[in-house]
Amino acid sequence: MIRRNILVIQGRSFCQSSYLAESLKPKPDIENKVTTNGDSNDITKIALNTNKPGDDGSLKRDDRVKNLINRLTATGRHEAKRNPTTTNASDAYKLFQNPDKLKALKRMFAQPKVSKRRVKKHVKEKFQKKHTEKNTKTSTEPFFKDKSTDKYLTSNNIKKHNLEQFVAPKNEDIARLAHNLDRVLFSPGVHFLQDPRTRIYNFSPFLKKVIHYKDFNFKAIENYTPVSKHQQLLENSQKFEKQFYSSTSSMTSLLSKFYHFLNKYDRYNVKRFGPIPFTGMSNDLPTNLILKPQGEFMDSTTKEKKPVYSIQADNSCDLDTLLSAMGMCMETLLTNPQNEFVKYHKDSGVEFNEPLGNTYNYASYGDFLLRSQLDCYDERLPGNGTFDLKTRASSNIRYNSKSGSLEKNDYQIWRLNGTYESYEHEFRDMIRTGAMLKYLFQARIGQMDGIFIAYHSINTIFGFQYLPLEELDKLFYTRDTISEFPDVSVRNLNEHRLPDKLPSLIGETQFKFSLEIWQKLLQEHILKDLNKEFNNKPTPFRLSVKYDALAHLLRVFVIPATDEEIDVLQSFPERFKRDFAEDENLGEVKKHARELTKFNEKCLETKEVFSYVIQMDSCMIDGKIRQYHQLPRDYFKDWQLIYNIKRTSNAPKKYVSNLLRFPDTKISQRLKKVHQLYEKIGSIRKKSWQEKDKKSQVYHPKFKF
C-alpha cells in the first residue's frame, strides 16, 4: 500500500507533507469484493479474484521511505511553527520549490538499476522456490473455497509413451476420393474447381452443382453411432482393460480447452499464437460431457473389478441443421464417381438392403480408448494412409446456420486473398473460430495423415485443399518456438532434428499431457469423491469444463445424474424436429432453449455440485524449471508439467446452470448486411459468367509423361 501511494505522490510533483500523511492512511480493500452490475446471475459479471497474496512483492527500501516521510513531516511541522500562516496546500507546496530538494527526492524515489544477469538470476530463483514449495497457497476466489489440494507431475520420458493403435481397420473398407481429386493430396495449396478467369474446370463439372438435400437418400448411408450405444467399442474397452472410452467428436472440444489452458491463452496478448486470435464463440463456450458406467472388467494387475465409463458429448443443445445434412451428402459425392453417386438419388429406383457401414480406428493412451471414424484412404500417403474429409461452408452460411433459406444464396469464393469472397477469409475464419484446432485433434486421435477440405456454399463447391498434420501443427505450435534463425547448434543438426519437425513433437507431447491430466482428475478426484457420496456405486454424471482466461485456470463442475435424466437429456433435440426450409425454425430454437433451461434448473435443485480447479505450476524441460507455457525451442529429451488439482466448494448453481444453457448465437446487424451485400454481388458475378459457363471446358494436359 505504501508503494502505491508514494508512486501517486511522485506523479503529482511530491505534494506537501500533510497530503502525504493523509494519503498513507489505511484504505478499505475493495479489490476482493464481487462486483455485479445489473443481473448478478450473469456469469460474465461474476468477478473472480485470482490474485495470489504477495504478487506485488515486498518493498525493499522500506527504511528509506519511512525516513523520507519523517523528514517531510518534520519539515512541515517546523515550517508551520515558524510561519503560522502557512497552513494550506498552496503555501505548503512552496517548501518543495527548491531544485536541490527535488533532485534529492527524485534520487531517493528512483528505481535502482538492476543488471540483466541479476534479473535472470532472480527469475530462476523464483521458479525454483515455487517448484520446491511444499504447501500450496489457498485460493482467494470469492465462492471457491479449497477443500483439498494435490500437486502432480506428468510422466517422465513422455516421448516413449505413444498413442497406440489397438484395432487396425481394413483398408479395403475405407472410401477413396473420386473425380481425380486425389491429386490435391500431393499438391500443396488451394485448388479451384473452376478457374474464375477463364471458367475452365480443373475437375469434373459434375461436382459444381450439389444435390438438393430433399433429393438425397439418407437411408443409404449409416447414421452416426453414439459412444454410449456402440457395443463394439465397449467390448474393446473391456478386452484391453481401458476404464474410459470415447470418440473424436466427444473429445475434441475438451482438448481445445486444454490447448488454451496449457498454452496460457489470452485473447488480449496473442503474439504467442500468431496474428489470428481465437475470438470465435466456441472458444468462450464450456465443454459439456456425460460420463456413464457401461460395464466392468477385471484388472489383470490389481485383480479387482473396475467400472467402464463412456465419455460422450452432451447433445442437449444439438440441432439438425442443413449444414450437417449437406455434409453427409457431399462426403458421399466426393468419394463416389458420377455413375455410382446417382444411385443415392431418391428417384434412382435403387434399393439398399443395408446402409454402408462406417469404418473405425481404435487408439489408446493411458486408460482411454478412443474411436475415430475413417473417411478416406490413399495408400500413397505416409503412415496409415488415412485422412479426414471436411466440408467447409462459406462464412455467410455458417453464421446463419439456423435459417431455413440458406440454399437461396449466390455467395462466391473466387479469389485467393481478400477480406471477403476469398479462401484466405475462410482459412482465417477456421482458425479464429477454433474449427481448425478441432480438425488437428481429430486427425491426431485417428492417427491420420491430414484433412481434406472442400469449400462450398451448399449450392456449389468452389475448391479443395489438403492440410497434412505437420502443417496443422505449425499453425498452432510454431509461434515463439522457432525464429528465423533457430537456436539450434549446427553440429547437432540431422534429419531427426530439423527445426520444421519440432512443432509436431510439441503437439504430440501436449496432447499426451492433456490426456494424463484428464485421467488424473477423473480417477483420483471425481470418481473417488462420487464413490464416497454414493457408497462405491458407479454413478453417471454430467461434467462441464470452462477455461478461465483471466485466471488461467481450468474449472470443472460435476453434477451427479440418473439414467433417466441422461436419457431425457440426450433425446432432447428429438422433441424439436424441424424442416430445413422453414423460417419458423427460429421459433423452435427459442422453445428448445427455454425447455432446456427449465430442465437443467430442475435437475440442479436437489443436486450437490462437485467443483474442481486445475492450476498449472511450472514445467521441467531436460531438468530445467521453466514457465509452464514456455515451449521448447529445441529438441528435448524430457518434458514434464507440474500442476495442482483442487477440490473446491460453494459453486453457485446459477453459475453452473448458465454453463449448461443453450448458446445464443446471434450475429450483429452489420455482419448481416455485409453478407447480404456480397450475396447480391455474387448473383451479379454469376450472371456475368453465364456466357462462358454455357460450354463446360475441362482442363486436360496436352503432353503426357
Q: What is the pLDDT of residue 5?
A: 38
Residue 141 above 70 pLDDT?
A: no
Q: What is the pLDDT of residue 131?
A: 46
Q: What is the pLDDT of residue 71?
A: 63
Q: Using alpha carbons, select from 391, 374, 358 the residue that is nearest to residue 463.
A: 391
**CA 312 – CA 314 distance, rounded (Å):** 6
The mean pLDDT of 138-155, rounded to a whole number, is 63
Q: What is the pLDDT of residue 188?
A: 96
Q: Per residue in 657-681, is it b (16+ CB within 10 Å) or e — as a string?
A: bbbbbbeeeeeeeeeeebbeebbee
pLDDT tens, residue by residue, 95-126: 445 556 555 555 555 555 555 555 555 555 55
Q: What is the pLDDT of residue 267?
A: 75
pLDDT band, residue 9 (cuts 50/70/90): very low
Residue 206 above 50 pLDDT?
A: yes
pLDDT tens, residue by residue, 317-371: 887 677 888 899 999 999 999 999 999 999 888 888 777 778 999 999 999 999 9
- Rg of the chain in Å (alpha carbons): 31
Torsion-angle region of 508 (φ positive above 0: left; ψ -120 to 50: alpha; else: beta): alpha
Q: Which of 214-218, 306-310, 575-579, 658-662 shows the lowest per-residue confidence on average (mean pLDDT)? A: 575-579
Residue 135 above 70 pLDDT?
A: no
pLDDT tens, residue by residue, 562-597: 999 999 998 888 877 666 555 556 677 788 888 899
**CA 279 – CA 269 distance, rounded (Å):** 12
Q: What is the pLDDT of residue 411?
A: 93
Q: What is the pLDDT of residue 25?
A: 41
Cβ pair 476, 507 in contact under 8 A = yes
Q: How many other CB atoms sit within 10 Å of the CB of residue 693?
A: 14
Residue 440 above 70 pLDDT?
A: yes
For residue 247, give the C-alpha cell: 470418440
Cβ pair 317, 663 in contact under 8 A = yes
**Phi, psi torsion values for 365, nearest 5 degrees:** -145, 125
For residue 149, give the C-alpha cell: 489440494
Residue 667 above 80 pLDDT?
A: no
Name which residue leads in pLDDT, 324 or 286: 286
Burial category of 690 from C-beta neighbours within 10 Å (exposed 0-12, middle 13-18, buried 19 and up): exposed
Q: Look over the chain and give the mean of its residue pLDDT values, rounded to a whole number.
A: 80
Measured at the CA of 436, the angle between CA 432 and CA 437, to 5 degrees, comes to: 95
Kindly list the domain boundaries of the chain, sorted by start residue: 2-31+61-112, 151-483+505-682
Q: What is the pLDDT of residue 336?
A: 95
pLDDT tens, residue by residue, 628-639: 998 888 889 999
